[in-house]
Amino acid sequence: MSTPERKCLLELEGISKWFPRKRTVKDAVQHAERQYVKAVSDVSLQIYEGENLGLVGESGCGKSTLARTIMRLYDPTAGQIILDGRDITRLKGNALRQERIKMQMVFQDPYSSLNPRMTVYEMLEEPLKVYHFVPKDEIPQEVDRLLRISGLSPEIANRFPGEFSGGQRQRLGIARALALRPRFIIADEPVSALDVSIQAQILNLLADLQEELNLTVLFISHDLQVVRHISDRVIVMYLGAIVESGKTEDVFDRPHHPYTDVLMKAAPSLDVDARTKEYAIEGDPPSPISIPSGCKFHPRCTRCQERCRTEQPALTTLPDGRQIACHFPLNTDSP
């Protein structure tokens, strides 16, 4: 699937999200500068209509913070968010609510986002009522439709979320996310809490819904094999920034960034037993409070040279559309 000729649905321009750390008494006495957790720094990307864009990287690299910033659940520290041609970076109140309808999230733990005291019916009718999305007398049919497209029987409408298995709860989370007919879904680790056998069913459901409803999906996962299976393009993040992006098969088959390379090599293989193991890379990522100078990856990179310690590599776009932030990339002659 080629992306450049497709319509851009979401564009991020230089998005940063830094969380200020609380000042201690010692900081005040020493007049120390305020410190920040630099969860996301200067991220620019485009997501094209109908595509599935994978977002991968180690725990703590800023994937969920980026997702929440796109949803405007966090205010960005810097940068611009353009949704369907409209700048939503500073929208507030009703104007923001109206734009947010176009985007919905599917979470790792759907139970935390489902009200345990509401029946399935009440849970699905709520957004339809709040947004006057369909005429009142059509709500029952709409709830039926949402359950059916999510692979659930309309007969469960009077039951409570606590009565369901993990896979069924995730289907409910998906039904709820689809209630307002969004164009863009952010799925943040949607299958990582599920048994492997159930994971495939939910992934297939997401892929089918994406096709049928022409959804655009940002698919966040630390499971590279899942991303390989479902995503058209992939973005690799390290310590709050994009280090590589490109078509999924290109990035997986010929990684250019040394971090992507070790991430792929350390990822479990497709065999089921291995898939439960976490990947392991030498050392831990540095703290997002004190980010290394030069290339952020240099303390852990086996290809590190003097230049890497002082000069931050810019994210460069190659002629084939691949993006890479490395002074000495792999599998290519030019950075």
Ligand X SMILES: Nc1ncnc2c1ncn2[C@@H]1O[C@H](COP(=O)(O)OP(=O)(O)OP(=O)(O)O)[C@@H](O)[C@H]1O
Q: Which residues bind ligand X (CB under 6 A)?
A: 19, 37, 39, 57, 59-65, 222, 288
For ligand SF4, the binding residue among 134, 267, 308, 315 (CB under 6 A) is 308
Which pair of tokens denotes residue 135? 């005429």
C-beta closer to ligand X: residue 21 or 309: 21
CA atoms of 57 and 115, how far apart (whole Å) = 31
Residues within window 202-261 making contact with ligand SF4, judged by CB under 6 A: 257-258
Question: Which one, 41 or 150, has the nearer CB to ligand X?
Answer: 41
- H or E element, residue 149: helix 139-149
- Given Mg ion, ligand SF4, ligand X, none, residue 133, with its beta carbon under 5 to 8 Å by kind, binds none
The binding track of 17-56 with respect to Mg ion, each residue x by CB under 5 A or -, is: ----------------------------------------
Residue 290: exposure state from Cβ atoms within 10 A (0-12, 13-18, ≥19): exposed
Site for Mg ion in 51-90 (CB under 5 A): 63-64
- Do 119 and 160 form a contact (C-beta atoms < 8 A)? yes
Does the protein bind ligand SF4 through residue 200 (CB under 6 A)? no
Among 19, 74, 160, 328, binds ligand SF4 (CB under 6 A): 328
Whether the Cβ atoms of residue 255 and residue 328 lie closer than 8 Å to each other: no
Q: Kindly tell me which of 69 and 168 has the beta carbon lying closer to ligand X.
A: 69
The b-or-e profile of 197-221 (16+ CB within 10 A means b, else e) is ebbebbbebbeebbeeeebbbbbbb
For the CB of residue 330, give the shortest distance to ligand SF4 in the complex, in Å: 9
For residues 93 and 283, which CB has a smaller minimum distance to ligand SF4 in the complex?
283
How many alpha carbons lie under 13 Å from residue 71 in its C-beta half-sphere? Answer: 21
Token duo for residue 182: 């969004």
Q: Which residues here bind ligand SF4, judged by CB under 6 A? A: 257-258, 295, 297-298, 301, 303-304, 308, 313, 326-328
